[in-house]
Structure 1
Amino acid sequence: MVKWYPTEDYKQSKVKEEQKPTRLRGNIKPGQILILLAGKHQGKRVIFLKQLESGLLLVTGPYKLNGVPLKRIPQAYTIPTTLSIPTDGLDLSSVTDAFFAKPKAKAAKSEEQFFVAKATKKETPEFKKAAQKQIDGKINISDVTVKKYLSTKFRLRNGMYPHLLKF
């Protein structure tokens, strides 16, 4: 016996609302230096390049200075700073959300595959390496202090209060 009966007959609608990408914060502009707050590169300073269709931010280290490759970052995980670098002449039309999609590989299901150790490291595709070099080559940082600023990590130390800091 069922102990609960619905009071009305209803059907759940199958129409889902279209997700809208996040709007870019007003204080973030292309070429601006951001501080990453989470993830593998936490505390590193990166250069904002553009906002992707999904609403994520496209950033780069440059890779030679601090080891941060082209990445997609949610803007909630960043702190914008007042320092910016000119990014005129960058062609970022080839870098979209599809650029970061992982290739689908079919796994062969067999008993032998079950017992084989999975110790192979996946290599970065060549087109991503080429895009990284091309974009980092166009970013011109001539000031030595800006290079040092980008290569150092942001840390809170004794006596530093986040609500009193000016970025």
Structure 2
Amino acid sequence: MTATPRYYPAEDVKPAKAVHKVKQNPPRVRASITPGTVLILLAGRFRGKRVVCLKALESGLLLVSGPFKINGVPLRRVNQAYVIATSTKVDVSKVDVKSITDEHFSRTKDAAKDGEEEFFMGDAPKQAVVSDQRKADQKKVDDALTKAVSAVPMLEAYLAAQFTLSSGDKPHLMKF
């Protein structure tokens, strides 16, 4: 029986492998969801509301708007898993949303940090402050979108109506 050597030779040491960054594929949007499709929101604060899809963002989220004047839904990002696409379409070719990206919705760094003083101030309700830039973008998009909606008869009332299900309704059999 031979004793194992105290040190291993240097040639046996394997070089460290290079770390490869995995590049994510861009998310795919369902074929039924195109710009101008009327969607029904299924979750969140605006569940049951009908909105117009404006475009798919780089993150895979959908940019939607109510329009705000019609049903109170502002410009929002929505995951496509939480929407139902309807067969209703709106011509959104005149709506300019090129400047709106995922960074448009990011929060400022200093607003995210709450100091100790704010914590102990009590239960004073915090008001969400909407920036002037977001208000201007909302107004610009709403004006163009409202014109497109008003061109289709009864579409404004359709967007303003709430979507609900009753106990006997079978959503898997419904044609949207």
Shared fold (TM-score greater than 0.5)?
yes
Encode CA deviations 1:85-128: one digit per residue, 9 max, x unaligned.
11112221110000000011175756x55532353313100100
2:175: which partner in 1? Answer: 166
Aligned ranges for residues 20-99 of structure 1 at < 5 Å?
20-99=25-104
Distance 1:133 1:109 in 2: 33
Distance change >3 Å, CA 103–CA 27, structure 1 → 2: same
1:105: which partner in 2? Answer: 110
Of the two, which has the highest radius of gyration?
2
Residue in structure 1 matching 2:163, options 154, 157, 160: 154
Encode CA deviations 1:114-163: one digit per residue, 9 max, x unaligned.
53235331310010011001001001222452111101111111321112
Distance 1:75 1:114 in 2: 36
Distance change >3 Å, CA 28–CA 123, structure 1 → 2: same
TM, length-normalised to structure 2: 0.80
Residue in structure 2 matching 1:132, options 138, 145, 154: 138
Distance 1:23 1:113 in 2: 42
Which runs of 5 or more residues in structure 1 are unaligned? Answer: 1-10
Please give the secondary structure, in 1, of the residue aligned with 2:143: helix
Distance change >3 Å, CA 164–CA 95, structure 1 → 2: same
Please give the secondary structure, in 2, of the residue aligned with 1:38: coil
Distance change >3 Å, CA 18–CA 147, structure 1 → 2: same
Please give the secondary structure, in 2, of the residue aligned with 1:105: helix
Does residue 145 of the first structure (1) align with residue 154 of the second (2)?
A: yes
Distance 1:119 1:95 in 2: 30
Distance change >3 Å, CA 108–CA 25, structure 1 → 2: closer
Q: Percent identity?
A: 43
Distance change >3 Å, CA 137–CA 156, structure 1 → 2: same
Distance change >3 Å, CA 29–CA 109, structure 1 → 2: closer
Q: Which structure has the highest helix share of the two?
A: 2
Distance 1:12 1:76 in 2: 38
Please give the secondary structure, in 2, of the residue aligned with 1:160: coil
Encode CA deviations 1:55-80: one digit per residue, 9 max, x unaligned.
10000000011111000001111110
